[in-house]
């Protein structure tokens, strides 16, 4: 009997306890692509096996902007869901509004403080109380390549930015699309963030996007990052505007394109197509960011509920999320890695194993940085300001990198 089946059997038996009244959990999320949906469906099944009702509230949109718009509307009208996919500094903003409930009893019983890296647990707390449960850790600074396409083009997997552009030239000369990209603000932001991390390094990256240091935001390295983004734009096709990230992944998968810059949720698409990591596709830390780990943590924040049975369902949901069995199944389907430091990684693929190794290593030094493009480094207002500047620059062939760095600092200052 495998681990996931054992867990389902155990909670099935638990749901047979007489006189137990199940509650309802409405869960707002944006896990809607193939691999993501399969992962979310499993959590739904595990919650329902405990005698509760799961009300699925999926809002499509890779970066979650649409979901947050819906959530704000619901919360303002006093009708927030039981749980919502919220992350990073946004958790603090919702906590300040007094809408989140604490999960301290669940966390204490399951020893969350011991299981989670301190950077993760700190992000899940508001005013010292756990108000959210982390589901996974995504690495944002990945480069995905199709080795068959590289071989046909005579290109080699890049280890530096110079090698990245050399490989792109070879792919282009061989008739392949060098870089599959979706022209959406959050995807433009993801690419820019990886370039910035490569050029600035983790310390200056944090100064720029966590501390919002104007000197770093307007400095020579930031100008260089914009110049690299401008150069990179030349390797993206003209039909990129509006393309979803998983459509870009498919272009690499089917051999039309050689590379994609995307977080490890891209791996869920390869997994759903039964492709093998290290064989059918390769994952590399984005060139120049080796030793750094830009993280994006999916988490479910819990809102205050009035009914006892619904609160119990909410607690059972939070507890189930961090069980080793669910952590394994969810992350194998999502492409991410577990948040538990004690997780057995032997059944994970080579990309996940490398990711966990790099995550633990970066967490011990200075290499662990919160992703700006994915809502971990700064407020949604700052993120939106950066997206505006980056996307406008990316789509303007005449844009000046030095001017863009000045605009970046000004846009951030305007929303603080």
SS3 state at 289:
coil
Q: Give the whole-angstrom CA distance, residue 299 versus residue 87.
A: 6
Residue 326 CB neighbour total at 10 angstroms: 21
Which letter, b or e, does each residue of 98-111 get, where b requires 16 or more Cβ atoms within 10 Å of its Cβ?
ebbbbbeebbeebe
In the chain, the N- to C-terminal Cα span, in Å, equals: 54
Query: What dihedral do alpha carbons 360, 358, 120, 414 form, nearest 10°?
Result: 140
Quickly list DSSP for 321-361: HTSHHHHHHHHHHHS-B-S-TT---TTS-HHHHHHHHHHHH
> From CA 377, how far away is CA 386, in angstroms rounded?
12
d(CA 268, CA 36): 7
Sign of CA dihedral 85, 90, 93, 95: positive
pLDDT of residue 338: 96
Contacts of 302 (CB under 8 A, 6+ apart): 82, 83, 100, 101, 103, 131, 132, 133, 314, 318
- The backbone torsions φ and ψ at residue 177, rounded to the nearest 5 degrees and listed phi first, read -75, 120
Instruction: Return the pLDDT at 32.
Output: 87
Domain 139-295+352-415 has CATH 3.30.200.20: no
**Consecutive 10-residue runs of the chain (416 residues): their mean pLDDT?**
50 43 92 83 94 94 80 91 93 94 97 90 96 96 98 98 98 98 97 98 97 98 98 97 96 98 93 94 98 95 96 97 93 90 95 95 90 92 97 97 98 96
Task: Give me the pLDDT at residue 17, please.
Answer: 41
Domains of the chain by residue range:
3-137+298-349, 139-295+352-415
The two domains 3-137+298-349 and 139-295+352-415 share their CATH topology (first three levels equal)? yes
* Alpha carbon distance 80, 100 (integer Å): 10
DSSP state of 100: B
Q: Which two tokens stand for residue 135?
A: 């589901």
Collapsing DSSP to helix, strand or coil, 382 comes out as helix
Residue 19 pLDDT:
38
Tokens of 80: 């927030």
Sheet holding 83-85, edge to edge: 53-58, 24-29, 83-85, 299-302, 132-134
pLDDT in the model for residue 2:
54
The superfamily (CATH) of domain 3-137+298-349 is: Periplasmic binding protein-like II (3.40.190.10)
Are the CB atoms for 159 and 287 separated by under 8 Å?
yes
Task: Determine contact, residues 128/142, Cβ cutoff 8 Å.
Answer: no
CB 386 within 8 Å of CB 396: no
Residue of 186, 193, 182 lying closest to 66 (CA atoms): 186
User: The pTM is what?
Assistant: 0.85
d(CA 168, CA 331): 31
């Amino acid at each position: 009997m495998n681990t996931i089946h054992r867990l389902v059997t155990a909670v099935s038996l638990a749901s047979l306890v007489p006189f137990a009244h199940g509650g309802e959990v409405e869960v707002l999320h944006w896990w809607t692509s193939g691999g993501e949906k399969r992962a979310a469906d499993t959590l739904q099944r595990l919650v329902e096996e405990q005698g509760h009702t799961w009300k699925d509230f999926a809002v499509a949109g890779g970066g979650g902007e649409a979901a947050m718009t819906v959530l704000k509307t619901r919360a303002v009208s006093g009708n927030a869901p039981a749980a919502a996919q919220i992350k990073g500094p946004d958790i603090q903003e919702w906590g300040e509004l007094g809408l989140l409930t604490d999960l301290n009893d669940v966390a204490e019983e399951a020893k969350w403080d011991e299981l989670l890296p301190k950077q993760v647990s700190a992000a899940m707390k508001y005013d010292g109380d756990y108000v959210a449960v982390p589901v996974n850790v995504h690495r944002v600074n990945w480069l995905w390549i199709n080795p068959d396409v590289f071989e046909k083009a005579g290109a080699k997997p890049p280890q530096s930015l110079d090698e990245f552009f050399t490989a792109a030239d070879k792919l282009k000369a061989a008739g392949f699309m060098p870089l599959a990209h979706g022209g959406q603000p959050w995807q433009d932001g993801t690419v820019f963030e990886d370039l910035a991390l490569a050029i600035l390094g983790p310390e200056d990256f944090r100064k720029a996007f966590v501390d919002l240091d104007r000197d770093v935001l307007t400095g020579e390295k930031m100008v260089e990052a914009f110049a690299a983004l401008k150069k990179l734009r030349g390797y993206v096709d003209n039909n990129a505007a509006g393309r979803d990230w998983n459509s870009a992944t498919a272009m690499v998968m089917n051999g039309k394109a050689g590379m994609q810059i995307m977080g490890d949720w891209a791996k869920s698409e390869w997994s759903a197509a039964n492709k093998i990591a290290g064989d059918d596709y390769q994952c590399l830390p984005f060139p120049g960011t080796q030793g750094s780990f830009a993280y994006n943590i999916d988490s479910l924040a819990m809102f205050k509920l009035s009914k006892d049975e619904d609160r119990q369902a909410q607690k059972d949901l939070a507890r189930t999320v961090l069980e080793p069995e669910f952590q394994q199944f969810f992350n194998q389907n999502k492409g991410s890695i577990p948040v538990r430091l004690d997780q057995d990684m032997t059944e994970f693929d080579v990309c996940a194993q490398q990711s966990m190794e790099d995550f633990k290593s970066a967490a011990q030094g200075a290499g662990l940085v919160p992703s700006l493009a994915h809502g971990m480094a700064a407020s949604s207002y700052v993120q939106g300001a950066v997206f505006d500047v980056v996307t406008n620059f990316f789509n303007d062939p005449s844009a000046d990198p030095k001017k863009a760095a000045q605009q970046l600092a000004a846009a951030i200052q305007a929303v603080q």
